[in-house]
Amino acid sequence: MKTLQITFFLFVFVPLMKSAPPIPQESLQFYEYGTDVTMGSLSQQDYEMQSKDLRKDGTNVSLDTSLRLQGDDSEHDAPPTKDTNLPTCLLCVCLSGSVYCEEIDIEAVPPLPKETAYLYARFNKIKRIAVADFADITTLRRIDFSGNRIEEIEDGAFSKLLLLEELSLAENRLLKLPVLPPKLTTFNANQNRIKSRGIKANAFKKLTNLAYLYLGHNALESVPLNLPESLRILHLQYNNITTITDDTFCKSNNTRYIRTSMDEIRMEGNPILLAKHVNAFSCLRTLPVGTYY
């Protein structure tokens, strides 16, 4: 009888019993402050676990801040900056007597190794060249300061550079030329603001090795005087030259004189009409480039 009762209970009442539904976990939504962007959802359990981790670290960082830091690390990448106070051979590239300091935004000539023979400091922000910049560097053969903001060069800044052969001061803001070293073969001062009064009468007379002289795109009113016999190329284009004398290139008292080294003279872009000064070119093997009529 008891066996029948137990069997009857199992068949009738057990099927009527249902397991209780699982308790849903509350989902927490997080948003970036001031926006409509959801930063993600965390369950109550995840929230408690992250809160414990933060307390263990001993920090006082909010969960919202932690999520933002995890969300986008790229926001904190700062752009690299140029440290112009570094030693020269870290700031520039030093290689076998050559120093390359190009496009690094320096505002003054950096200290150079004593064995430096070639200095390239183009496209910077240098405004002034001082005597002290090259006082102890006597080995320099080439200097290029093109594309700076040079307005002033101290007297004697290049006086000790007895081996210097090439000097470029192109694309600066010079109003006058400095005293040039005696062994120059190439001098480039294109695209400055130089007027004729900014060039001394004997500026080039003693430069007996000078072969290439570039003074184009300035404000010269006349051709520089006492050009050396060694000169092969002379660029004076796009100045304000209005007159030439018979002694500018030739010698008026010597009709047999020929300037044998001169290969090219450019004078286009000046207001002068060259056809009015035929005798000024009588000693040249080729006529200057420019306006004749």
pLDDT in tens, 208-252: 999 999 999 999 999 999 999 999 999 999 999 999 999 999 998
CA distance linking residue 129 with residue 220, whole number of Å: 23
Q: How confident is the model at residue 74 (pLDDT cuts 50, 70, 90)?
A: very low
CA distance linking residue 63 with residue 289, whole number of Å: 76
CB 231 within 8 A of CB 211: yes
* 41 sits in which H/E element: strand 38-43
Tokens 């009529």 belong to: 293
pLDDT, tens digit, 9 for 90 and up, residues 100-140:
999 999 999 999 999 999 999 999 999 999 999 999 999 99
Phi, then psi, of 186 in degrees rounded to 5 = -135, 130
pLDDT, tens digit, 9 for 90 and up, residues 242-284:
999 999 999 989 989 999 999 999 999 999 999 999 899 999 9
pLDDT, tens digit, 9 for 90 and up, residues 151-169:
999 999 999 999 999 999 9
What confidence score (pLDDT) does residue 144 get? 98
Distances (CA, A) of 74 to 25, 61, 117: 33, 20, 44
Tokens 């294109």 belong to: 190
pTM of the model: 0.72
- Give the 3-state secondary structure of residue 93: strand
